[in-house]
């Protein structure tokens, strides 16, 4: 058997997995050696295991969980389903990080005094500002649901309704940037739900508002990002790429470096797009 088998070093070179990783995957029962020498403890692998090891390397390189990798090895017909679910998790993570970075930038720019104050401003006593707070609360609730990995169908409905409710209230009391960002969030929710028609509609509304109100900088770049994502979801790769190029061009006019990085990072999560920074 040993003459037909590969040492752990050789299968490491053939598969791209490190020796340390192969030992770990042996311990957790993911890739067990074909034989183990009783005297030396050396591991030997069958040539047929190279393909499995390479698959493990590819899947783990994009952070597919070990248990999902195990399912792929045991049930190859589930590979596409598992990869689609993992893509959703990564998109959720990217959305969460983009939101965190954006909020962090506001904290750095605005300071913490207002955030940490325990005395509500006097203007919050008025109905107008109560509605603004409601719009913001709903907007943040949508972000929380977007960041949830294991959303249920009921959660998806809540997320969708909250996005529209937030946009409605911004329409009553918000400024043009609030309207554009409300439309953008509706488009993103539909993108996550893989519903191309309403995703495209709300993405176009973002751009319409930016043009009508002369909004540029961060908002214009995200208008094109929303359109690129919507067309990608709809299966129109050519238009998606064209919108991505417009988004990249718009990022050049973003004043704040961190805002520019947020847009560029978000563009990388669009299906079929590459790295931009």
Q: Give me the torsion for CA of 65, 97, 188, 172, rounded to 10°.
A: 150
Amino acid 104: pLDDT: 76
Residue 73 token pair: 């090895």
Is the pLDDT reported for residue 260 higher than 70? yes
Domain ranges in the chain with CATH number 1.10.1660.10: 2-74
- 113-122, 145-154, 200-209: least confident range: 113-122
Fold category of 2-74 in CATH: Multidrug-efflux Transporter Regulator; Chain: A; Domain 2 (1.10.1660)
Give 81-134 pLDDT, tens digit per residue.
999 988 888 887 787 777 777 777 767 776 655 555 555 554 443 478 889 899
Query: What's the chain look like in SS3?
Result: CHHHCEEHHHHHHHHCCCHHHHHHHHHCCCCCCCEECCCCCCEEECCCHHHHHHHHHHHHHCCCCHHHHHHHHHCHHHHHHHHHHHHHHHHHHHHHHHHHHHHHHHHHHHCCHHHHCCCCCHHHHCHHHHHHHHHHHHHHHHHHHHCCCCCCHHHHHHHHHHHHHHHHHHHHHCCHHHHHHHHHHHHHHHHHCCCHHHHHHHHHHHHHHHHHCCCCHHHHHHHHHHHHHHHHHCCCHHHHHHHHHHHHHHHCCCCCHHHHHHHHHHHCCCCCCCCCC
Mean of the per-residue pLDDT values for the chain? 87
Residue 130 token pair: 């109560």
Give 161-204 pLDDT, tens digit per residue.
999 999 999 999 999 999 999 999 999 999 999 999 999 999 99
Distance CA 207, CA 216 (A): 10
Distance CA 149, CA 92 (A): 7
Please state the rounded mean pLDDT for residues 63-90.
91
Residue 268 token pair: 């990388």
Distance CA 252, CA 270 (A): 19
pLDDT: is 48 or 277 the higher one?
A: 48
Is the pLDDT reported for residue 140 higher than 90? yes
Domain ranges in the chain with CATH number 1.25.40.10: 85-267
Q: CB of 135 within 8 A of CB of 178? A: yes
Is the pLDDT reported for residue 160 higher than 80? yes
Class of the CATH-defined domain 85-267:
mainly alpha
Residue 235 binned pLDDT confidence (cut-offs 50, 70, 90): very high
């Amino acid at each position: 058997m040993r003459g037909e088998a590969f040492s752990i070093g050789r299968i490491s070179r053939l598969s791209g997995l490190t020796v340390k990783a192969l030992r770990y995957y042996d311990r957790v029962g993911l890739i067990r050696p074909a034989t183990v020498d009783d005297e030396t403890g050396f591991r030997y692998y069958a040539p047929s295991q190279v393909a499995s090891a390479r698959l493990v390397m590819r899947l783990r390189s994009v952070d597919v969980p070990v248990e999902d990798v195990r399912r792929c090895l045991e049930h190859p017909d589930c590979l596409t389903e598992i990869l689609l679910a993992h893509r959703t998790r990564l998109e959720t993570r990217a959305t969460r990080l983009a939101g965190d970075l954006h909020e962090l930038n506001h904290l750095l720019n605005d300071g913490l005094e207002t955030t940490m104050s325990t005395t509500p401003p006097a203007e919050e006593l008025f109905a107008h500002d109560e509605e603004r707070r409601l719009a913001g609360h709903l907007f943040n609730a949508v972000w929380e649901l977007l960041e949830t990995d294991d959303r249920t169908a009921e959660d998806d409905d809540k997320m969708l309704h909250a996005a529209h409710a937030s946009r409605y209230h911004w329409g009553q009391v918000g400024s043009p940037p609030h309207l554009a960002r409300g439309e953008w969030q509706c488009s993103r929710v539909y993108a996550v739900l893989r519903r191309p028609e309403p995703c495209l509609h709300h993405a176009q509304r973002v751009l319409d508002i930016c043009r009508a109100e002369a909004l540029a900088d961060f908002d214009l770049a995200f208008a094109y990002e929303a359109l690129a994502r919507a067309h990608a979801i709809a299966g129109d790769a050519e238009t998606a790429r064209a919108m991505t190029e417009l988004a990249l061009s718009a990022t050049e006019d973003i004043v704040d470096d961190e805002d520019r990085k947020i847009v560029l990072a978000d563009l990388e999560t669009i299906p079929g797009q590459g790295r931009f920074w």
